[in-house]
């Protein structure tokens, strides 16, 4: 127990420089968190922001989805949109073969 108290006492800031130590403590705190702030900024601009942009583009595509468009799904099914009912999109995958697909699983258009 005595060793723990002496260790805490040794780690305490010097008592003689109370006013200057506070300014140095703030600067030391900023320098400590600076790498974390830089890492967060890198993650934001390289991962989070592009993902949000891609999500907005996908939502715009889904809102503009119309019958007659050729699309592909997340499962790899390719078809032509026959009709749209709320969150269900009916795809014609072959002649006279239509399947229901949840709207969110439509990945993108097929450009031909």
**How many CB atoms are located within 10 Å of the residue 91 CB?**
22
- Residue 70 contacts residue 110 (beta carbons within 8 Å): yes
CA–CA separation, 91 and 78 (whole Å): 8
CATH 1.10.10 for the 67-112 domain, yes or no: no
Q: How many residues comprise the chain?
A: 112
φ, ψ for residue 44 (rounded to 5)?
A: -65, -50
**How many CB atoms are located within 10 Å of the residue 79 CB?**
22
How many CA atoms are closer than 13 Å to the CA of 89, on its beta-carbon side? Answer: 27
In this predicted structure, what is the pLDDT of residue 12?
A: 60
- Nearest Cα neighbor of 88 from 71, 104, 76 is 104
Report the predicted TM-score, pTM, of the whole model to 2 decimal places.
Answer: 0.64
In this predicted structure, what is the pLDDT of residue 24?
A: 75
In this predicted structure, what is the pLDDT of residue 73?
A: 95
Output the six-digit token pair for 55. Answer: 């999500």
Mean pLDDT by groups of 10 residues along the chain of 112 residues = 60 57 74 91 93 95 94 95 94 95 94 75
In this predicted structure, what is the pLDDT of residue 25?
A: 78
CA–CA separation, 57 and 75 (whole Å): 20
């Amino acid at each position: 127990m005595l060793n723990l108290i002496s260790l805490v006492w040794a780690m305490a800031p010097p008592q003689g420089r109370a006013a200057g130590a506070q300014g140095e403590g703030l600067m030391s705190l900023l320098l400590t968190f600076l790498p974390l702030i830089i890492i967060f900024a890198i993650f934001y601009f390289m991962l989070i922001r592009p993902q949000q942009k891609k999500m907005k583009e996908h939502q715009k595509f889904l809102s503009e989805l119309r019958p007659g468009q050729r699309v592909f799904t997340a499962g790899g099914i390719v078809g032509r949109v026959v009709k749209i009912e709320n969150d269900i999109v009916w795809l014609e995958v072959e002649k006279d073969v239509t399947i229901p697909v949840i709207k969110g699983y439509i990945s993108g258009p097929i450009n031909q």
